[in-house]
């Protein structure tokens, strides 16, 4: 078990120098994972709209989503994703919700991979294998 100790979000910059979100999931062991949304989520937005969306997403993560998953087992990715998507005050269809949930979910997956001392792709593969039935 790898219990989630804290979830935080802050402003950062992407490879183009534009503002973006950085979500950090920290586990009880001290291991952590961080993630940012893909730049394509912001395509078509003006700089003002992008910066406003980044600020609102950081607030959503820090004030709403963090409480949904703190103390949960980081290895239970499906449960964490369901908790994030079931946040009461979140408009499930909004860009804000999609960016916030995706960023925290990916940060959690990275934290879980770091806890196991394996690359992220191996951790994700292990999650998908657990749902595939193999015939003999």
Domain ranges of the chain: 4-129
Question: Max Cα separation, the chain?
Answer: 57
Per-residue pLDDT of the chain in tens (136 residues, 90 and over written 9):
999 999 999 999 998 899 999 999 999 999 999 999 998 888 888 999 999 999 999 999 999 999 999 999 999 999 999 999 988 777 767 888 899 999 999 999 999 999 999 999 999 999 887 555 545 4
pLDDT at position 134 is 46
Residue bearing tokens 């879980």: 112
Residue bearing tokens 């730049």: 39
pTM of the predicted model as reported, rounded to 2 decimal places: 0.90
CATH of domain 4-129: 3.30.390.10
């Amino acid at each position: 078990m790898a219990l989630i100790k804290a979830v935080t979000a802050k402003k950062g910059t992407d490879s183009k120098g534009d503002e973006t979100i950085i979500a950090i999931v920290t586990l009880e062991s001290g291991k952590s994972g961080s993630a940012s949304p893909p730049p394509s989520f912001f395509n078509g937005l003006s700089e003002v709209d992008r910066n406003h969306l980044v600020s609102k997403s950081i607030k959503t993560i820090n004030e709403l989503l963090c409480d949904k998953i703190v103390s949960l087992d980081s290895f239970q990715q499906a449960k964490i994703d369901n908790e994030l998507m079931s946040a009461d005050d979140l408009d499930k269809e909004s860009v804000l919700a999609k960016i916030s949930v995706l960023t925290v979910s990916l940060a959690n997956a990275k934290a879980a991979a770091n806890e196991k001392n394996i690359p992220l792709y191996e951790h994700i593969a292990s999650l998908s294998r657990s749902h595939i039935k193999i015939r003999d």
